[in-house]
Amino acid sequence: MRHRFAVLAALIATRFAMADVLSMVQAQTATQHAEVTLSSGEVITGELLRQDAEGIVLKHPILGDVALRPDQFKEVKEIAAPAPLSPWSSYLNTSVSGVQSTNNTIDLRLAGGVLYKEDGWLAQLDAQWYYRANNGQAQDNNILVTQLIEREMGESPWTLFEKAQFEYDQFQSWKDRYSIFGGAGYRLCDEKPLELTPRVGLGATREEGSSDRWYPSLMIAVDGLWTINDDQRVKFGGQYVPDVANFQEFFFFNAFADFVWDIPNTEHLSFVAGIRDEYNSSATDGTAKNELRYYAGIQFTF
């Protein structure tokens, strides 16, 4: 089971390595920033582009390039440049519960992910593990790993994407399922409070332990984010994946919704509660066609 998380561990290591390189490059190319007190008494800050006998030129984040003659300002004070926003973000969250009595039970969920977003590129990797045991006997053991790479098309709301997914389920007629897709997305809503991106792609799916073959698949999916306020948000999504040659009899569907609340007076901790539902038409041998999982726990972002 450990090797199934090797990809996530490698990507997290790459995230920190690339972040370190980015920090060094930014440090080497740091620009001078200044706080300028105008003759009127107002204060503006920005990147100091030029300062000489004719005055100064300041690059303001809203006003753009501002040229000031010597009689238009009183003082120029150098300040530290604002910390650049990193294109990387990562998270880990967990929930654990258990009972030791006549029956000993344990419920465990571990999840983690890495996101890179800059210059029109989105790269994301997420992994989840659900485990439940009663008196030492596993009753649920499921791993889901999803990878997405997406490219914006300039100012157009259209995007191009590649998506791959791996799922392991001890209690399905298939044990390992692999899927890979490529296609187009459309940023239906791209501003707060609601961000919504439907995607349609073609690819292939393989279920080992069941059909043991690759079959052509269609993927219809949607991902969204509803920002309630600065501290609360709901992330949701779903996808429908049928066999192109057999839409009605061979398909799977999954959907999820996570409520995230940033804990007050903490910098990196959040409370997370969510549900994940999955339907497998190919479930046989008495295994469940529909699986509903729900969870609540703590999330750490970095």
Instruction: Single out the residue of 228, 261, 18, 223 nearest to residue 118, CA to CA.
Output: 18
Which of the pair, 58 or 271, is modelled with greater confidence? 271
Distances in Å between the Cα of 280 and the Cα atoms of 82, 136, 173, 214, 240 are 50, 27, 10, 16, 10
155-165 confidence digits (pLDDT tens): 899 999 999 99
112-164 confidence digits (pLDDT tens): 999 999 989 999 999 999 999 998 899 999 999 999 999 999 889 999 999 99
Q: Please, which residues have CB within 8 angstroms of residue 205's CB and are 6 or more apart in sequence? A: 177, 178, 179, 214, 215, 217, 241, 243
Contact 113, 146 (CB under 8 A): no
Which of the pair, 187 or 281, is modelled with greater confidence? 187
- In this prediction, residue 96 has a pLDDT band, given cuts at 50, 70 and 90, of confident
39-81 confidence digits (pLDDT tens): 988 998 888 898 888 999 988 877 888 999 999 999 998 887 7
Please count the CA atoms within 13 angstroms of the CA of 202 that sit on its side-chain side.
3
Contact 257, 272 (CB under 8 A): no
Task: Indicate if the pLDDT at residue 21 is higher than 70.
Answer: no
Which of the pair, 233 or 247, is modelled with greater confidence? 233
User: Residues 257-279, buried b or exposed e (16+ Cβ, 10 A)?
Assistant: bbbbebeeeeeeebebebebebb
Residues in the chain: 302
Q: Which domains does the chain have, with CATH numbers?
A: 31-79 (2.30.30.100), 86-301 (2.40.128.130)
Per-chain mean pLDDT for the chain: 87
